[in-house]
Chain A
Amino acid sequence: MSSKPSGLLSATFAEPAYDHLVELVHQRDAAAHRRLASLRMTAHDADGREVLALDVDPAREIFDLGAALSERPEERLMVLFDARYDEHVFPYRPHQYAYLHPRGATDAPLYYAVNATLGGVPDRIGATNINNVETYVFRPRAFAERYSVMLGNVSRFAAAQAQLIAYYGTERVGHQIELPPKAHVEAMVAADLEGIRLSRVETKAPFRLATYVVGRRAESGHLVLFDHLFTYVK
């Protein structure tokens, strides 16, 4: 192994009562798997306080996040995966995807790409574009859903001022969001504005935040959308 391993910080959000399994390696690649040098998981409450920290066995392929957080009382935690690996041999990046399902619900499970927020191997993870100005489009007809964007500041020392803009036809509604280090928020976005349906959202931040667009069934609150946004600059 190189004496200078690469680092990658990935971030997701976790809520109680979900099956939530995070893949610690990208797909199954035995050669790459052996090269994951270390992995530390931390969980942070909405104010940024670290409430749980675990050194995860880097030989594991799947991390059961739902089980690890099963005793936590918080409604939502931001979970960071801080990985080290040798850039010369790792073919892609660790903990690429996760599986998410509300336990006991008839809803479909979601499978999503965990936000890669810092580090990685730029020419391999495709993160050479600007990734702190993003957008997401919604279907034009109304559904019995609630929408929001989860934003988390993964930095150690720098606070972030983020903008969340929701578009309704030609109208736009802006939200200013202050996030101290490791703090996070679920910013609600109205599904319509005076009868005009939400068409898209946009996030702008001074640096890469953990960002997920969220849709929930209005009745149960279960997640039906939990996805990354898309960069404007491709």
Chain B
Amino acid sequence: MLARALLGVRRERTYYLPWITRRGVDCTLLLSNVEARFKEGFTRGPFLATVTQYNARGKTVGRYEVSLHDPTDTVEVSLGDTPGHGFATVASERINSDLYVTLSDGTSYTATHGRHEFVEHYPPWTAALLATSTALLALVGRTLPAFARDQYVYVGPDSRSHVLLMNLSNVTNRIRVVLTAADGAARRALLRVPPRGAHLLDVGRLTDPASVTTACRLRLEGNAWFNLYLVGAGAHDLDGPLSLMHVK
């Protein structure tokens, strides 16, 4: 907290959800305020919200105004099926409920929920300092490990879990990835994720094929705040049905 204050970093409370689309896999957000139905001051609508969709490069590619008539009303926001990924934020003063993100192949759908956390804003001088220092560290395959996450990922003969990394900050986030397989072999990568951008980490590229489903350890270190969702893929990998899976 002290370091953030010294660096002038501001945290803005933000509800966000991941999104991923592929040909034949549509991504739709499902918004409601049902969890607030017994909460004082939240029993009557309308409940207004603005959904902002960022793509992998951090560009705003969609903005949607949503109105829920009452706490049990639901509204869908389709993010289409043009291949891409990123995250979407939902700004609302009176929605106090988890919101779902769904992926569908047209026959069935998988679902998970978003997160009420924050996005970090770095002032220009701190951003410049970070850009310089992380560029130097990148020369030796390193980053400034301001945030670290550990996560299991899974690789099997007919399924695997990829990782959707979301840069929840307004600075470039260099994220160092170390994936350790069950046999102890480690693979490393250094990613450069634009401000408010995202990166789909293809776990299959970092591991050898497995005859049985096994867990690998993933260590992630970034110079700014980021979070992740797992992307479940079946036998057809990213060309087949997908699921998004939340992680705390």
Interface residues of A, Cβ cutoff 8 Å to B: 19, 21, 23, 26-29, 61-62, 92, 96-97, 99, 101, 103-113, 135, 137, 139-141, 143-145, 167, 199-200, 215, 217-218, 224-225, 227, 230-234
Name the residue of chain B whose CB is nearest to the CB of A105. Answer: B234
Residue of A106, A107, A108, A200 with highest tally of chain B CB at under 10 A: A108
Cα-based distance from A99 to B214 in the complex (angstroms): 10
Q: In the complex, are the beta carbons of A139 and B76 less than 8 A apart?
A: yes
Q: How many B residues face the partner with a CB closer than 8 A?
A: 54
Contacting residues, chain B, for A224 (C-beta < 8 A): 108-110, 243
Q: Determine if B195 is an interface residue (Cβ-Cβ < 8 Å).
A: no
Q: Which residues of B contact A139 (CB under 8 A)?
A: 28, 30, 74, 76, 102, 109, 111
Asked whether B149 lies within 8 Å of A232 as measured between CB atoms, the reply is: no
Q: Is the CB of B35 within 8 A of A217?
A: no
Contact A111–B230 (Cβ < 8 Å)? yes
What's the count of A-B pairs with C-beta under 8 Å?
145
Is B211 in the interface zone, CB < 8 Å from A? no
Say whether B198 faces chain A, with CB atoms less than 8 Å apart: no
Given A105-B234, A137-B74, A231-B35, A97 contacting B213 (CB threshold 8 A): no
Residue contact A107 to B241, C-beta cutoff 8 Å:
yes
**Is B118 in contact with chain A by the CB < 8 A criterion?**
no
B37: CB under 8 A from chain A? yes
Q: Is the CB of B159 within 8 A of A230?
A: no
- What chain B residues lie within 8 Å of A215 (beta carbons)? 108-109
Closest B residue to A215 by beta carbon equals: B108
B215 contacts A61, C-beta separation under 8 Å: yes
Please give me the 8 A-B residue pairs with the lowest Cβ-Cβ distance, nearest first: A111-B245, A108-B243, A28-B150, A109-B232, A108-B232, A101-B159, A109-B159, A27-B150
Contact A137 B104 (CB under 8 A): no
A200 to B161, alpha carbons, bound, how many Å?
28
Residues A28 and B152 in contact, CB atoms below 8 Å apart: yes
Minimum CB distance partner of A223 in chain B:
B110
A-B contact list, 24 entries, CB within 8 Å: A23-B152, A29-B150, A61-B152, A99-B213, A101-B156, A106-B158, A106-B236, A107-B241, A108-B110, A108-B159, A108-B243, A109-B161, A109-B233, A110-B110, A135-B34, A137-B100, A139-B30, A139-B74, A139-B102, A167-B72, A199-B74, A230-B113, A231-B35, A234-B97
Docked Cα-Cα span, A225 to B235, in Å, equals 18
User: Which residue in chain A gives the minimum CB-CB distance to B100?
Assistant: A137
- The verdict on A111 contacting B243 (CB below 8 Å), with A21-B154, A28-B150 known, is yes
Name the residue of chain A whose CB is nearest to the CB of B240: A106
Residues of A within 8 A of B215 (CB): 21, 23, 61-62, 99
**Residue pair A19, B98 in contact (C-beta under 8 Å):** no
